[in-house]
Structure 1
Amino acid sequence: MPELQRLRPDHAPALFTFEQENRAFFAASIPDRGDAYFTDFDARHTALLTEQATGLCHFHVLVDTDGEVLGRFNLVDVTDGSADLGFRMAEKATHRGLATATVLHLCTLAATEYGLTTLRAAAAIDNTASRTVLTRTGFVPTGEKVQLGDRPGLAYVLPLGEPQLRPSPPSPA
């Protein structure tokens, strides 16, 4: 069973492989990270860990039993009880409900471990998978249009700790 883990130094090799193997898949629905991301990966990973230590961000990886990274789930720009949620799944891990289950789990962590009261997210209009995960986990479109790289997107919000807005996990089909 995959496990959500807080980002650590030893995740670097598996995370690098995850990003490389899925680069084209990701670029079909979200802005590409660019070549510099891969060239400077080690320094960037160290910088993320330093930023996480300040409490401004909470970075996570979804790891299978073999240590392979299946997804990234991040809470960034933590301020005044809120944060922005971002996530991406490996192509081979899609269509199994893992993203939905992991976002639900991270929403719980956000409230109980990190003391957050609101999460924000955005997804490209043509990124049906991410928009579906967001709505299944209780995020509501704000009506605000955003630009994600060269793609138009929509903003979402989820107040935490309000039971009527906390969704139940989807029932198996």
Structure 2
Amino acid sequence: MPEIQLLRPGHAPALLAFEQENRAYFAASVPDRGDDYFAHFEERHRARLAEQQAGICYFHVVVGAEGEVLGRVNLVDVADGAAELGYRIAERAAGRGLATRAVRELCDLAANRYGLTHLRASSTLDNAASRAVLARSGFTVVGERQLSGQPGLSYLRSLADFTAPPGAPADC
């Protein structure tokens, strides 16, 4: 069973392989990261770890049985009890419920480990799979927006149903 792990330095090689192997697949539904992302991957990885250490963002990888990265599930722009959720799942792991499981698990982590109360997310209108994951995970459409020039939707999710009652052990 794949496992969500907080990003760490040792994930860099598998994460780079994941991004390279899935670049064309991702570019079909989200803006491409561009050549610069790959050319400076190590530097960007260190910067992400520094952001995470500062509590600005929490980056996670979905790791398979062989240590391969099957996905990313991230919380960015953490402030005032909220964060923006972003995720991507490898083409070879898509369509099996992994994105929904990963998003739901991250909602639990966001509430019970990071102390967040709300998550925001967005998806382009043509990304039906992402919109379905958000709907299955309890996100509600709150508006329209443009995402890299494409029409999209904004979502919001309260994490109240993930928050452990006072005195109860956190399940994470």
Which TM-score band applies after superposition, normalised by the shorter structure?
A: over 0.9
Cross-structure match for 2:48: 48
Aligned to 1:67: 67
**Aligned residue type for 1:149:** S
Do the aligned partners of 1:12 and 1:42 also contact (CA within 8 Å) in 2?
yes
Letter in 1 for 2:35: D
Secondary structure (helix, strand or coil) at the match of 2:67 reads: coil
Q: Is the 8 A contact 1:31 1:150 kept in 2?
A: no
CA RMSD of aligned residues (A): 0.8
Once the two structures are TM-superposed, the CA of residue 162 in structure 1 deviates from its matched residue by 4.0
Identity %, equivalent residues? 60
Equivalence for 2:36: 36
The one-letter code matched in structure 1 to 2:68 is E
Q: For residue 73 of structure 1, give the secondary structure of its aligned residue in structure 2.
A: strand
User: Matches of 2:149 and 2:10 in 1, distance apart?
Assistant: 33
**Matches for 1:93-108 after TM superposition, within 5 Å:** 93-108=93-108
**Mapping 1:113-128, distance limit 5 Å:** 113-128=113-128
CA distance in 2, matches of 1:149, 1:32: 10
* Separation (CA, whole Å) in 1 of partners of 2:118 and 2:60: 18
**Moved segments of 4+, more than 4 Å:** none
Long gaps (5+) in structure 2: 163-172
- 1:146 is displaced (CA, Å) by 1.6
Q: Is the 8 A contact 1:74 1:86 kept in 2?
A: yes
| Unmatched tracts of structure 1, length 5 or more | 164-173
The 1-side partners of 2:65 and 2:147 are apart by: 33
TM-score (norm 2): 0.92
Q: Does the 8 Å CA contact 1:85/1:121 hold for their aligned counterparts?
A: yes
Q: How many residues align?
A: 162
Q: Is the 8 A contact 1:61 1:69 kept in 2?
A: yes
For normalisation by structure 1, the TM-score amounts to 0.92
| Structure 2 residue aligned with 1:168 | none
Q: Post-superposition shift, 1:145?
A: 1.6
- 1:110 paired with 2:100, answer no
